Amino acid sequence: MVISLIGYMGCGKSHISKILSDKINFKLIDLDKEISRRNKLTIPEIFEKKGEIQFRKLEREALEEILASEENVVLSLGGGTPVYYNNMELINTSSQSIFLRASVNTLFERISKQKEKRPLIANIPDEDLPEFIAKHLFERNAFYSKAQFSVNTDARDPEDIVQEIIEKLYL
């Protein structure tokens, strides 16, 4: 069984998926790390050398393989994964999906400190970032909101968030 965590950059997918996988004793897979490992390049290097479209293809391939897994897996997706191809449909038919919701302010606070790891926002000045996030999130919410469950992550203890997720899942 696979449990997929989705949501915008900085919503806490990596952190929450680590706590969740430890608690329910599932293997943890981070889709970006998996793509990096397979291609022996960091995510910024893939964007730089191959471009975003190629990244989305590599993302789709890795997603298909992981979702076909027979193992118990908590899968932390990239912020854009649900948006491309028919990934969201595949995610929903092959896993239990959870959307980690966060406000623009929370997302800004979290990602402004780690911009260089994220090619889509690396060159956006901090003063323009809230506006960018608001618009981008609005577009992506159409996909994120297709997840089977959603939890609010604003100003909450990660342990509480994980508890709520466990109560919602069919385990």
Over the window 34 to 73, marking each residue x when it contacts ligand S3P by CB under 6 A and - when it does not, the resulting string is: ---------x------------------------------
Neighbouring C-alpha atoms within 13 Å toward the C-beta of 33: 7
Q: Which amino acid is it at 148?
A: Q
HEC profile for 113-124?
A: HHHHHCCCCCCC
Under 8 Å between Cβ of 6 and 137: no
Annotated binding-site residue? 94: no
Q: How far is the CB of 116 from ligand S3P (least distance, A)?
A: 11
Size of the site for ligand S3P (CB under 6 A): 10
Residue ranges in 89-118 that form contacts with ligand S3P under rule CB under 6 A: 118
Work out the number of other CB atoms within 10 angstroms of the CB of residue 53.
8
Residues annotated in a binding site = 10-15, 32, 56, 79, 118, 140, 156
Residues within the interface to ligand S3P (CB under 6 A):
9, 13, 32, 43, 78-80, 118-120
